[in-house]
Amino acid sequence: MPLRLIIFASIFLLVMAAANFYIYRRFFKKLSPHFSQYAAIIPITLMAGEIFFMLDRVLDLLAQSPLLYMINSAFIGITFMLFVIATIYDLTITTSRRVPFDQGRRRTIKILFDITMLIAATAYLLRGFSQGIKAPGINSVEVKIKDFPIDNYSIVQLSDVHVGRTIKRGFIEETVARTNALHPDMVVITGDLIDLPLEDIRQDLEPLQRLQCPCYFILGNHEYFHGAEPVIEYLRTLGIRPLLNESEVIEKSGQQFNLVGVNDVIGERIGSLPLDFDRAFDGVDTNIPTILLCHQPKGINLIKEHQFDLMLSGHTHGGQIFPFGFLVMIDQPYLAGLHRHDARRQIFVSRGTGYWGPPLRVLAPSEISHIIISAG
């Protein structure tokens, strides 16, 4: 078992244990001793589910149990959401103590506040689950690129699908059908397509061969976790073209632009299939526009010498569960949507087509990104 997985699992479980202990102290310990004793079952159950989740990720214990995986991963999301609610509660109570009120009025306000927080917490959790299991929406984005030679060139971007325990063949079939209905000129899959080794999800990926236009694929960090090379070769058999630090000239109606795809930044750390901008841009015609596929948005800060017009990324999930996006932005320069990075370069970051871990999303709905490019 790789040491990095043991370290990650240990840190993760320590963080979850601390969060569950805080939740218990905030919500349950102040109950009467009788109720407090039984209420402790809630954080203990959450923690047990999180332990099983990590055992599954590290030891692959629950490979044939999608239901258990969904329940245990949902416990992670519930812990995070309860932790957020508890933190907001404590900050509000601490601040309110500085405001002068008589004790009777203070008790009334606290009761009303507790009821409001209970309603908000329930809505927060229900919203998370309803958005998590909802089919991805179509996010239409218009992009203007100077001297782009093709009017209304249509790209569908699929990203962070995470085919695995709970996202299966049916999800891919529906995604392919909805993608084909948009009649794009091209489909790009910007990494994290898988969340299990290929042998476990081969049949789930098969519907991708029904895409009715050229499709390109780049690696995300999760491909490295589960075996990138077999996935690359299998996608080739489905008619999908991997871009592994490579470029291709795209032509339509006699007009051309460059499509460049790079490996994920994690490759160098793992020691396999590293990102190599120099190799990817080798031979690229700088006289025509260039679109770059790079899984992580922070790749835009790593590229120094090579020019491009638009970068398509994923990885962030748009934060997936608000306010987790604020933590994501410590590591990534952009969270979601279209941004102008400098005078020439733009970047679009997908919120992801699937989800990772808990089937929860709050203020970060999943999407099939439909990008329309014109000159401008």
Asked if pLDDT for residue 35 goes beyond 80, the answer is: no
* pLDDT of the residue at 131: 87
Question: Is there a single domain that holds both residue 170 and residue 126?
Answer: no
**For residues 179 and 369, is the Cβ–Cβ distance under 8 A?**
no
Question: Is there a single domain that holds both residue 290 and residue 150?
Answer: yes
264 φ, ψ (degrees, to nearest 5): -80, 155
Question: Is there a single domain that holds both residue 61 and residue 200?
Answer: no
Please tell me which residue, 298 or 85, carries the higher pLDDT value: 298
Question: Is there a single domain that holds both residue 126 and residue 142?
Answer: no
Question: Is there a single domain that holds both residue 126 and residue 144?
Answer: no
Question: Is there a single domain that holds both residue 49 and residue 122?
Answer: yes
End-of-domain residue from the set 91, 109, 132 = 132
* pLDDT of the residue at 89: 82
What residue spans of the chain are helical by DSSP H? 3-23, 33-39, 41-59, 66-96, 103-132, 169-181, 198-205, 221-226, 228-237, 266-270, 277-281, 325-331
Question: Is there a single domain that holds both residue 198 and residue 242?
Answer: yes
Question: Is there a single domain that holds both residue 91 and residue 172?
Answer: no
Question: Is there a single domain that holds both residue 200 and residue 262?
Answer: yes
The C-alpha atoms of residue 124 and residue 43 are separated, in whole angstroms, by 18
pLDDT, mean of residues 8-20:
89
End-of-domain residue from the set 82, 99, 132 = 132
Question: Is there a single domain that holds both residue 273 and residue 288?
Answer: yes
Range of the domain at 176: 137-375
272-293: per-residue pLDDT in tens?
999 999 999 999 999 999 999 9
Q: Flag whether the pTM goes above 0.95.
A: no
CATH of the domain at 361: 3.60.21.10
Question: Is there a single domain that holds both residue 151 and residue 275?
Answer: yes
Question: Is there a single domain that holds both residue 145 and residue 244?
Answer: yes
Q: 228-237 and 198-205 helices cross at what angle (nearest 10)?
A: 20
End-of-domain residue from the set 132, 161, 180 = 132
Domain count, the chain: 2
